[in-house]
Structure 1
């Protein structure tokens, strides 16, 4: 395992994990007990010849497991390299990341200190209470192509990028802070279909009066949600449009684009975490990966906002 000096260097340098020391300390306090509880439950769930807690101790303590997971998510470092860095076997790193990543994914997105949004319903309720405008968009993450002969091999091919990808729906506030990131779906799924599958139409139709800005990929949701989803204006003239209409349509389109550009900034911050630039692991882990990174990013954004307000 790494020494105290190396561990302190990792924690103190935000370039390594993407998180400040205060945020990492909060993660240790919040996630540590959950990991320990799951570990003890797993030990007690099978027949044993020795008491729980007997035998060899972990060479990789929880703090190091958390740091290894953060470095992997932030920079896409391979398990072999992390194993050399932390002085353990590669399988230990793989097991550690597999244990910590789901715990990070379940935490949801942090809005303020102690307030987290874990579901889309909670996000819609939060926007209704605060009166803020939400911005929604889909983002794609490249993945490995399924093996030849595997069922539904072509469902991961994105019609937009013509690559094998999975898709997630991201919802931010008007300042681009991440409020929600959905589980992933195969890249062949359209943005509007994914939103319907997540229940966005039902939540907006039956919920509070909120405003959600979206791009042209969500056109049609406005009519289904009573105007709560606002998309770019439809083009009424496909050919031989009058000059005055071209000017009006372009002005309306730019005005809408300038309002929803913040979600693109939020997605860009997510993609700064190399694990989302291209996912090279199992596709089954992409949902946990993207939701874990969204939760970590939102917690750091909330911490930076509090720090700015206090200074």
Structure 2
């Protein structure tokens, strides 16, 4: 409730004029509000449909989602074998990996979002060069078993994968924690060049004039690196079992909270593996 009061105060720009306790009361108890939010995050049901199930107005469900979703997004990510400990930032992940000797896996995932209206500034920023659609992308970090440790660096789809994670300060963290190693795909080859002892990217494909032995060696090394990195792809697939991350039809300004809330809930399950 304190978070909701702060949000409302920021929106109106001044303290509340009506005494505390005034105004409409909640028709749903806290438990029902949490359940309604989880159902919408899992299945992306229309708010009006869920309101019909509960016998309330559509605005009641919308209000519940706007209250509970930020709390779920702020929970952070569960740590395997460390009950009560949660990771909130990329720095937390590197500190954990350095302390426990965990080798990280990095990858990005893209989700289609609504196209901005015509003649809006920055309209092309959401057009993904890979998907040729309006998307938002997020960076996902897992351990060797594909357990989600962090999701973030959520940026418009036009931004390059490496640029997005650089904006979160990953280069400084790699310098600060030289013992932390990571496996990435070809989209992060620049990081692998700068930190060759820490970041491993797929080997470059040999030229057309390469011998058969060189091509076979490259194919073997590429498959080996891919099989060691594939667990982060499986983690992305677990996230996309939740309907909003298959194709997001809500407002773009709420996408970041939705993605973080879902990734945090998935990490609770994967941490038990």
Give yes or no for TM over 0.5. yes
Residue in 2 that maps onto 1:241: 210
> Structure 1: how far apart are the matches of 2:125 and 2:223?
34
Task: Show the counterpart of 1:79.
Answer: 47
Distance 1:183 1:232, change over 3 A: closer
In the other structure, the counterpart of 2:165 is: 195
Give unmatched runs, 5+ long, in structure 2: none
1:89 aligns with 2:57: yes
Give distance in 1, aligned partners of 2:125 and 2:24. 46
Task: Show the counterpart of 1:22.
Answer: none
**What is the deviation of 1:223?**
2.8
In the alignment, what sits opposite 1:299? 268
Question: What secondary structure is seen at the aligned counterpart in 2 of 1:114?
Answer: strand
1:108 Cα deviation from its structure 2 partner: 0.6
Name the residue aligned to 1:127: 97
Correspondence 1:55-74 to 2 at 5 A: 57-74=25-42
The Cα shift of 1:53 comes to: 3.3
Q: Which is helix-richer, 1 or 2? A: 1
> Is the partner of 2:118 in helix, strand or coil?
coil
Q: Does residue 197 of structure 2 align to residue 227 of structure 1? A: yes
- Scaled by the length of structure 2, the TM-score of the pair is 0.92
- Aligned-partner SS, 1:202: helix
Kept in 2, the 8 Å contact 1:135–1:260? The answer is yes
- State the partner residue of 2:250: 281
Asked if structure 1 preserves the Cα contact closer than 8 Å seen for 2:139 and 2:151, the reply is: yes
Report deviation, 1:239: 1.2
Look up the match of 1:169. 139
Secondary structure at the residue paired with 1:209? coil
Deviations 1:168-224 (A, max 9, x none): 000001100100000421101111111111111111112241111100110020232
1:56, distance to aligned residue in structure 2 (A) = 5.5
C-alpha contact (below 8 Å) 2:154/2:164 kept by paired residues: no
Tell me whether 1:37 sits opposite 2:2 in the alignment.
yes
In 1, the alpha carbon distance for the partners of 2:159 and 2:5 equals 40
Look up the SS of the partner of 1:113 in the other structure.
strand
Q: Does residue 1:259 correspond to 2:228, yes or no?
A: yes
Give the Cα separation in 2 of the matches to 1:88 and 1:210.
51
Task: Provide the C-alpha distance between the structure 2 equivalents of 1:158 and 1:54, rounded to a whole number of angstroms.
Answer: 47
Residue pair 1:132, 1:173 contacting (<8 A) in 2 also: yes
Tell me the SS of whatever aligns to 1:176.
coil
* 1:218-268 alpha-carbon deviations (Å, 9 max, x no partner): 002023235211101123x32121000010000000000000000011000
**Could you say which residue in structure 1 is the equivalent of 2:130?**
160
